[in-house]
Amino acid sequence: MFQELVKRTRTIRRFQEAEPVAPAVLRELVELARFGGSARNCQPLRFLLVTERQRRERIFPHLGWAGYLADWPGPVAGERPAAYIVCLLVRDRLAGSEREAYCDLGIATQNMLLGAAAKGIFGCRIGSFSDRLADELAIDDAHQILLVLALGYPAEQVVLAEVPPDGSIRYWRDAAGVHHVPKRSLEDITIMG
């Protein structure tokens, strides 16, 4: 059952924008992030929850979408995220390497995405965003935006595929708009020691 949840937890970039994600659901997801591991138990992350339409509209132009789909500018109106969780680093809580903070971030966002998928909500981790986003959100100098988690009910289908013979891992969309994500085989990624 858990393996099926992991397989279903795919990155979604087109959403049912009109279908809201309740703030209470976002709080449940942050609770899952809170329970995750943290290097030296430093807990340097904070999470800004955004559901209000006007604020979402101000965030959207600052985001970069789907680097492998160069001719796609991102979701159109009506297919944009219904919510965002902006992941922040409390700068004075770093107390170690930035690498540790990014490990915490990976754990936290995976916990949130798994919890969201269990509710039929999917997301996209966005690390490509404008430097002006912090100003747009009035984020003070004590915090640094690390990642934006876009969330909503899916308006697209994502399927896993085998890596083709040429070895390309580039995701792609077929003529029907189905998003294909090549995954390396277990044999290709496993090293026996």
* pLDDT at 96 exceeding the cut of 80: no
- Residue 11 CA: distances (Å) to CA of 35, 66, 94, 160: 22, 10, 28, 11
Q: What is the C-alpha to C-alpha distance for residues 113 and 131, in angstroms, rounded to an integer?
A: 25
Residues of the chain above pLDDT 90, percent: 83
Backbone torsions φ then ψ of 146, nearest 5 degrees: -100, -35
Give 116-153 pLDDT, tens digit per residue: 999 999 999 999 999 999 999 999 999 999 999 999 99
The reply to whether the predicted model has a pTM over 0.85 is: yes
Instruction: Indicate the length of the chain as a whole number.
Output: 193
Q: Which of 39, 137, 18 is nearest to 87 (CA)?
A: 137
* pLDDT at 42 exceeding the cut of 90: no
Q: What is the mean pLDDT of residues 48-64?
A: 97
Q: What is the mean pLDDT of residues 85-114?
A: 89
> Taking the CA of residue 64 as centre, how many other CA atoms within 13 Å lie in the half-sphere pointing to its CB?
11
What per-residue confidence (pLDDT) applies to 95? Answer: 59
